[in-house]
Structure 1
Amino acid sequence: MSKKDSTTNSGYERTLTNAHIQLIALGGTIGTGLFLGVGNSIHQAGPSVILIYIIVGIFLYFLMRALGELVLSDLKKHTYIEFIEKYLGKNIGFVTGYLYWISWVSLGMAEMTALGIYFQYWFPHLPTWVPGLVTIVVLLGINLLSARLFGNLEFSFAIIKIVTIIAFVLLIAYLLVTGGKTSFGPVGFSNLTKNGGFFATGGKGFLGGFQMVIFSFVGVELIGLTAAEAQNPKVTIKKAINELPLRIILFYVMAILAILLVIPWNKIATNSSPFVQALGATGIRNAGSIINFVVISAAVSSTNSFLYSAGRLLFSVTYNGKGKWNQTFGHLRRQLPQNGLILSACLMGLAPVVIILIGNQAFNFISSTSTSMFLIIWCLMILTHLSYRKQTPVNELHDFQMPQYPWLDYITLIFFGLMIILLLALPANRLSMISAILIFVILWAVSKLWHRERAN
């Protein structure tokens, strides 16, 4: 690869290999939402949570096909925000960019909160804010060194998560075939039908399970954000997106099914990882500690990914801008958005304040707010893809296109819109969704004032 090909117009260095992209893609789909949040989802929806994961996974695959077509249409652009600016206008781009940045910061805060919960398994008297704060300081140091080091770290974390989930599913499958028992009784499919049946909590419970399931998938679009630093994005981005359905089936549906085969849905704890609970029930020595180490590594991995994304998004929305703020965060140092990374890490470091103010509900509130903001952003992304296709002649389209355009775009947009309405209707999520909408409106007002001042 020549020097010219190894850097982008904005100054990023293409250091992420195919292996990095594939494992980062997995890192974006396996995190706290699965390892911790799934307990809340199961509590809400019962065994039908499996169906919710399949439904949400299908629509997230459609979203990624649309985003993949956008990213590959112009590899000179290094984030989705640049496409939104081009096809929906600078104001919407400005608003979405900062909303997206705030979303990644809030995700990092959620992971830091989860880390405190995980560490209490070993250290019940340790303040919940300590593990997250230490983690963000260490990860900031790593991200300030190089993108390749970030990729290597994510590679290692993803291997741990993948091996663990596969081993977990195989272990439960073995117990199922051999008639094994746990402290909850025989391992079997009967757990899916007893205690109220597959839709044990009814239609209201089924709908209530969507928020945390959507949160589980937040971060899947990280694949596209790596394009600017990928060595061969035309190959790696396509492959990562096309393999998404397999990852959804294996790492979500099969893992959750395995949990439910071991533990009746109404006995799954919501204040700890169901994976720890399920493996502990098998009687295998130190199984609980082993899986707790894995879920901690998953939370660290996700925090690492979210910090990576937040730093690059802040750089993107301030790149080539005027004024002290834009000049501070809109340039690279050593081919890295160092100032953006530092500010994002500092804001994520405010998670202890939220924990102190809200207490045990901090994770649920932060995750719900993140979900709400991402639903708004995903709607804008689909609208961007629709605008791109309308403005681009057929002979200029590349081969990686959204299937069944425009119908799948419209269906996906309707689904995300219905999820926004659902969160507004559910009392537990209403405040978070209203907060996300208010943030969007405030950013829109700031954008209009800023552009008006620039015009004068």
Structure 2
Amino acid sequence: MAHKKSSSAEQEKQTMKRSLSNTHIQLIALGGTIGTGLFLGVGNSIHLAGPSVILIYGLVGLFLFILMRALGELILSDLHKNTYIDFITEYLGKSVGTVSGYLYWFSWLTLAMAEVTALGIYFQFWWPKLPTWIPGTITLVILLVINLVSAKVFGNLEFSFAIIKIVTIIAFVILILYLMLTGNKGQYGTIGWSNLITDGGFFARGGKGFLRGFQMVIFSFIGVELVGLTASEAQNPKATIPKAINQLPVRIILFYIFAIIAILLAIPWDKVSTTSSPFVQALEGTGIKDASAIINFVVISAAVSATNSFIYSAGRLLFSINYDGKNKLSKFLGKLNNRQLPANGLIVSTLIMGLAPILNLFLGDNAFEFISSVATSMFLIIWSIMIITHITYRKKTPNTLLPSYRMPLFPYLDIIDLLFFIGMIILLLWLPTYRISMISALAVFILLCLIINLVREEKEKSQ
């Protein structure tokens, strides 16, 4: 009897605590769609594609909504699984699951490095001579401590950050529209629709410019699947996960497309900065006193929020990959502490994120662009594997065992989504600017495949 109780306790200990409420999940889902990709990276997208970047955001948002519908069905088919990697392992095999897990984990680390790099850029708005590594390093230490307290504390912090970001975006859009309707002039002339089509029209950069704009836009959307990683700690995932996913198209329209239109109303597209936040630039251009300082604070909070989310995600992924492992390292990384948190995974992940300043020293001003393009490349591979996992799951699962929340028009939407992601991989290989990043991501994927297979073969020989 005592043995049974001990076994039950051990099982309970290895299950993450369900401490995230409905409000937490909704705000994490909202906040997850607003980060550095929008606040900083959008300038790069506008520079490359011109006003047609609005169309790119709509297209990418549509394909990622399809992805989230597939992932939502997977999550709700088995709520005992910790992350998407558990599903990849079950339906595509342990080797593919392990490779995908480490690639996905490394992708989150790369994203965090991009955010840490962006933080240094934002703080230079007030202190131009401040070394870019200082704000990021301090932020990582503080956020690690917060993540080691509980998932609920993480949820409360994300709740606060999400509120700040959402209110700011809405206020920004309303302010620009008000200034346009009242005929106000800013630093760049009259605020109005003419700025959208100045110097070349909607497709001012032509077809190649339109295609070049996809990389940073895709980077902007990375993090939308964070809502799925919260399922194992959500109090009522069957209700909150579908609701959060179904609201994604509305969030894309409100917080991406409307915000970008507002920027382009205030600034001619060819004057948008690529080295600082276009939101700060737009408000500086209106002449409203201290407005740019306020939005810079919000931009910083968005980067801190994103970094917080990436620490949360990376720690849980590292735990999930190593859970139930037999070697010493797997046992170390694949266990929960007495707070039911993957503490070791969180600490190791954050330490690696702290390497971002070293990359900044080597890459200088190009650090953010390079890191973001590597992250985009890795996520395109991961998303492709996720779609293949969903297709395999549906083929192996009888209709009677499918959850009520299903991917519509299966398998056609899955196939269209997969073709889009593969098309983006080919596009990044074709464009010289992103070729090295995409080749690096593919090289990491192939190297992981080789290492995992070698380890498996050695294990089989020794048995």
2:430 & 2:329 partners in 1: Cα distance? Answer: 38
User: Are 2:325 and 1:288 aligned?
Assistant: no
Aligned to 2:432: 427
Contact 1:113 1:355 in 2 (8 A): yes
Superposed, 1:307-386 pairs within 5 Å as 307-333=311-337, 334-386=339-391
How far is the alpha carbon of 1:347 from its aligned partner?
A: 0.4
Match of 2:415 among 383, 401, 410: 410
| Contact 1:276–1:291, Cα closer than 8 Å, also in 2 | yes
1:33–1:215 CA contact under 8 A, matched in 2? yes
Equivalent pair of 1:8/1:14 in contact (CA under 8 Å): no
Question: How far apart in 2 are the matches of 1:31 and 1:10?
Answer: 32
Structure 2 matches for 1:5-154, cutoff 5 A?
10-154=14-158
The residue type equivalent to 1:247 in the other structure is R
Contact 2:320 2:334 (C-alpha < 8 Å) held by counterparts:
yes
Deviation at 1:277, TM superposition (A): 0.2
Instruction: State the one-letter code of the partner of 2:397.
Output: T
1:399 corresponds to 2:404: yes
- What letter matches 2:345 in structure 1? G
Distance (Å, rounded) in 2 between the aligned partners of 1:267 and 1:113: 24
Distance 1:82 1:10 in 2: 15
For the Cα contact (< 8 Å) 1:9–1:76, is it kept in 2? no
* Partners of 1:221 and 1:147 in 2: CA distance: 17
For the pair 1:257 / 2:261, whether they are aligned, the reply is yes
Deviation at 1:177, TM superposition (A): 1.4
Give yes or no for the alignment of 1:299 onto 2:303: yes
2:446 aligned partner, one-letter code: V
TM-superposed CA distance for 1:28, in Å, is: 1.4
Per-residue Cα deviation, 1:228-276 (whole angstroms, up to 9, x for no partner): 0000000000100000000000000000000000000000010000000
Alpha-carbon distance in structure 1 between the residues aligned to 2:42 and 2:196: 16
User: Are 1:450 and 2:455 counterparts?
Assistant: yes
Q: Residue 283 of structure 2: which of 255, 279, 282 is its match? A: 279
Superposition TM-score, scaled by structure 2 size: 0.96
Contact 1:8–1:228 (8 Å) recurs in 2: no
Is the 1:94–1:317 contact (alpha carbons within 8 Å) kept by the matching residues of 2? Answer: yes
Give a deviation string over 1:10-42, Cα, whole Å, max 9, x none: 420000001100111112110000000000000
| Letter matched to residue 121 of structure 1 | F
Instruction: Determine whether 1:213 maps to 2:217.
Output: yes
Q: For the Cα contact (< 8 Å) 2:31–2:166, is it kept in 1?
A: no
- In the alignment, is residue 184 of structure 1 matched against residue 188 of structure 2? yes
- Specify the code of the residue in structure 1 equivalent to 2:162: A
The residue matched to 2:32 in structure 1 has which SS?
helix
Runs of 4+ in structure 1 off by over 6 angstroms are none
Between 1:356-365 and 1:190-199, the stretch displaced more is 190-199
Match of 1:404, SS state, is: coil
Separation (CA, whole Å) in 2 of partners of 1:120 and 1:182: 24
Q: Structure 1 CA distance, aligned partners of 2:29 and 2:14?
A: 23
CA distance in 2, matches of 1:77, 1:194: 51
With 446-455 and 62-71 compared, the bigger mean Cα shift is at 446-455
One-letter amino acid of the counterpart of residue 74, structure 2: L
Identity of aligned residues (%): 67
Q: Matches of 2:321 and 2:452 in 1, distance apart?
A: 12
Residue 9 of structure 1: how far off its partner (Å): 8.0
SS in 2 for 1:399: coil
Corresponding residue pairs, total: 451
- Letter of the 2:363 partner, please give it: I
Instruction: Give the distance between the partners of 2:162 and 2:261, measured in 1 at CA.
Output: 21
Query: What is the alpha-carbon distance in structure 2 between the residues aligned to residue 313 and residue 19 of structure 1?
Result: 23
Query: Does the Cα contact within 8 Å between 1:57 and 1:245 map onto a contact in 2?
Result: yes
Rounded to whole Å, the distance in 1 between the matches of 2:294 and 2:100 is: 40
Following superposition, the deviation at residue 8 of structure 1 comes to: 6.8
Q: Compute the TM-score of the two structures, normalised by the length of structure 1.
A: 0.98
Distance across 1 between alignment mates of 2:194 and 2:410: 41
* Alpha-carbon distance between aligned partners in 2 of 1:15 and 1:454, rounded to the nearest angstrom: 38
